[in-house]
Amino acid sequence: MTTLRLGDTAPDFEQNSSVGKISFHDYLGDSWGVLFSHPADFTPVCTTELGYTAIVSGEFAKRNVKVIAVSVDDADSHKKWIEDINDTQNTQVNFPILADEDRKVSTLYDMIHPNASTTATVRSVFIIDPAKKVRLTLTYPASTGRNFNEILRVIDSLQLTDSHSVATPVNWEDGDDVIIVPSLKDEAVLQEKFPKGYKAVRPYLRITPQPNK
């Protein structure tokens, strides 16, 4: 088991799921991916998380993101639980849940933390780009539900900063002002890249309106 760091290639795998066998890299194709684990089926916090993920599935699709969940329960359990999620959260789960009974995926992605539980996965999140590189990792305890609006916000930031010479400041939301990266210093290039201009609060802190995506 290797600790995954930002920039590492996300490990590939084949695993059964609620929709049949999945080959992870093939499943992602040229899309971004969010792989997230939950401790167990038929648990209350997970039910709300997967329900909300289904509710905002259109937001992930707009960003070219495929979502895939994982726990150590089997596929039949997942299918029965999905019925509960759909009913209690008033939605339709339309993404796969990996059936990681043999702990293959959980081990590859270090999702089982023995000091928390020797059997259940913690609430891990991995954002993976189209080059299959890990771009974000998050780990929550079992008792704390994740904020999927924050996951969408991070994807917005990653996609914007990948295509422009900017970084996003504290509490940034899509459409807010951004920061010009300090390494960009040529004034002619700055004028070309940022025709709306910028405000230099300090030489290293230059604020500009968000460029068009």
Distance CA 140, CA 82 (A): 22
3-state secondary structure the chain: CCCCCCCCECCCCEECEECECEEHHHHHCCCEEEEEECCCCCCHHHHHHHHHHHHCHHHHHHCCEEEEEEECCCHHHHHHHHHHHHHHHCCCCCCCEEECCCCHHHHHCCCCCCCCCCCCCCEEEEEECCCCEEEEEEEECCCCCCCHHHHHHHHHHHHHHHHCCEECCCCCCCCCCEEECCCCCCHHHHHHHCCCCCEEEECCEEEECCCCC
Instruction: State yes or no: is 67 an active-site residue.
Output: no
CA-closest candidate to residue 59, choices 183, 184, 151: 151
10, 22, 46, 125: the active-site residue? 46
**Amino acid in position 162:** D
| Active-site residue set | 46
